Chains A and B, each alone.
Chain A
Amino acid sequence: MGKLIDFVITSIKVSLTGSKKYYAWLASLLLLVIFGGISYYYQLKYGLIITDIRDQVSWGSYIANFTFLVGVAAAAVMIVLPAYLYNYKEFKHITIFGELLAVGALVMCLSFVLIDLGRIDRMFHLLPITGTPNWPQSMLTWDVIVLNGYLFLNLLIPGYLLYKAYVREKPRKWIYIFILISIPWAISIHTVTAFLYGGLAARPFWNTAIMAPRFLASAFTAGPALMIIILQIVRRYTCVGKPGCKLVVSDRALFTLAHIALISMLVNLFFLGSEIYTVAYAATSHLAPLKYLFFGLEHNGVTYAKLKPYMWAAITMEIIAALLLLFPKTRKNFTTLNIACIFAFVGIWTEKGMGLVIPGFIPTPIGEIWEYYPTLMEIMITLAVWALGFLVYTLLLKIAIGILAEDVVHPSAKDKEMPEGH
């Protein structure tokens, strides 16, 4: 127990000590959180009226970002699976970065859902005993279970492994059971999130069987793409990957991630194409949301097309990303690889965030066209949640790198070698 307390205290210390650049990074994130916090105060006081979400488009930026980030969280499995099931050596050192990214992403997901609630003061109504969860009927109750379960797994696994490394002990076998469970669990979080939408017959744009597969394919593109960028940043600003460092992020590991992103992106584009074909060729009234997305809808001589430029940009970015990832020459060149990753990430964020949530509401089920565009306060709150997620991720990474690479060790284990399994 004493060692565990030491672990926690040391972790906090390590996470809060760093270079000037590190403090500047933390401070800028904190500043964004504070600005968003002030906006959220107004939302609490005056209600969701400070956003542009209305009866016609009843979910907006919050739920769009939530949806996208569940995918980022789920994508950790793309590192865990090869590392543990296929014993892929290149990924052994980076699994922890993936799992901790899942924690950061989940912090954002849960924040977005809570912020979107009209009555956050009553959130305990969702829980057993203090509330009346509509389980198993409501997909949202499933989402509460799988998201919190996944958060638990991704705190437990890296937390335990880091603790064991800190005291220089071999991790026990039972943790591998949790690691194995985390693989299908990752799939489940994004499946349930897709089912939130897919199960609504009222919204033809979402009511399609391809929803969950499409969610997973896009997640396994955006997640690895983000990971490639983050790992390069880690390599540049920490000891990781430098000569003599115990943590290695090899180019091969990055290229493998790029390969995963490529295949997922191709599958994602294929799914998107299948969806567009089915809706467009049949050309029933279900075409309207898709038409809104890509061309805009016309009513009484006015064309409503606020999402159109974003959507075309997103699709263009996704296709460029796919091409850059496809050719070995551009995939293995870090400049073009990074462009591909940024394009893939931003493209999917648009396509599967706003591009998926908003058109589901346009036109309304009884034919009204009403456009949504987030307000400044809404954008501030959204930014704050992103900043919060990255803040959490930064602190966790700092601890992990400290213990695994920078000889942060419990005094009693000072002379011991790092045992196997780390």
Chain B
Amino acid sequence: MVDRSRRDFLKKAATGATAAVIPFANVRIPVIDVTIEELLQSHYKEMSEEEKQRVIERLEKEYREKYGIDATIKTTPPKKGVVWGYALNIQKCIGCRRCVYACVRENNQSRANPKEPWRGEIQWIRVLEFEKFEIHPGGKAKDFRTKFGEVLAGINLEESEHYYHPEEVPEKDKFYMPIQCQQCERPPCVKVCPTKATWKEPDGIIVVDYNWCIGCRFCIAACPYWARRFNWSDPYIPKEEINPKMHYLGNRIRMKGVVEKCTFCIQRTREGRYPACVEICPVGARKFGNLLDPESDVRKVLEKKRVFRLKEELGTQPKFFYFMD
């Protein structure tokens, strides 16, 4: 504690004191478009409750002025005795991508805008399409593979199709596998972050302080599941589509130059609701719950089904499980 208060003192001395007495707090620096107050804001984990409140009020005001919406930004902390886990039934998944779009709406991700194509579209969930199996009899004679032919089956990520667009899903002979943040117990993204702007919460969710991220994208390079997205430009979200129920570490509106990712809908799950992707899934392929509670949906799956995790060999220990009936 002594260390911490000393650190705070030094920090305040260095950054010019607390927000209340920052001179020119509301002055907006041109080009990069940030206020002095925003620039000197502390790391989320080092903020006092009072500081958090002030930042939230500022953000809510900003959203009101910019979008004309009344947003509420919560900072609901994790519950004790809860570690969130997820289970996805790849046999049931029909590849409809409703989860993708529900996630985009729920989490205020940047939309595609035909009028301003330079603003990037962001989706946290990627659904992969696989052939159930492929048999190519014969094969190439020169090849070192068997002359009886080539057989492809199962989850071979490099054979996956990301941009499938059939009239109707599911297609015959295809199966689907959605991938999103696997909320690793040993997250490589957290390890490589040079500023501790991303971390694992006590309930197991990996979050980002969007105001602390410097945008180096080391975490994107380190993620084996391609689960992180970058704001290459200012996000574009039509006013009427903004979800006003926000969490500071979750779906509040991001700014250009920072990384974002799935938080298991922290703004919902910490209020006792299911993530949006779980709720929307028309076939009930998605299960969610407290890994520490034997009665939870996810624990029941772990008990009754054979599950696997993606890239287990990398030692990341995801809390996202895949299973089949």
- Chain A residues proximal to chain B, CB less than 8 Å: 41, 44-50, 53-56, 58-59, 113, 116-123, 125-126, 129-134, 137-141, 144, 196, 199-203, 285, 288, 300, 360-361, 363-368
Contacts and interface: CB of A to CB of B under 8 A. Distances in A.
B188 A125 contact: no
Contacts of B194: 126, 133-134, 138, 140-141, 144
Highest count of chain A CB atoms <10 Å: which of B34, B118, B223: B223
Contact of A116 (B32, B161, B216, B231): B216
B214 A46 contact: no
14 contacts: A47-B256, A54-B120, A118-B217, A122-B39, A122-B215, A126-B195, A131-B195, A138-B191, A138-B193, A138-B194, A201-B314, A285-B157, A366-B126, A366-B160
A267 to B, nearest CB: 27
Identify the 9 closest CB pairs spanning chains A and B, nearest first. Answer: A118-B215, A118-B257, A367-B157, A202-B224, A140-B194, A47-B256, A49-B233, A49-B232, A58-B220
Contact of A132 (B10, B29, B43, B162): B43
Secondary structure call for the A interface: loop
B309 interface: no
Interface in B195-247: 195-197, 212-218, 220-226, 228-234
B14 interface: yes
A57 B124 CA distance: 16
Contacts of A126: 194-195, 214
B204 to A, nearest CB: 19
A290 to B, nearest CB: 13
B232 A366 contact: no
A172 to B, nearest CB: 35
A202 B34 CA distance: 34
B192 interface: yes
A55 B259 CA distance: 10
A141 B224 CA distance: 21
A193 B229 CA distance: 24
Contacts of A130: 11, 14-15
B156 interface: yes
Contacts of B10: 129
Contacts of A118: 213-217, 230-231, 256-259
B120 A49 contact: yes
A361 B222 CA distance: 11
Contacts of A119: 213-215, 257-258
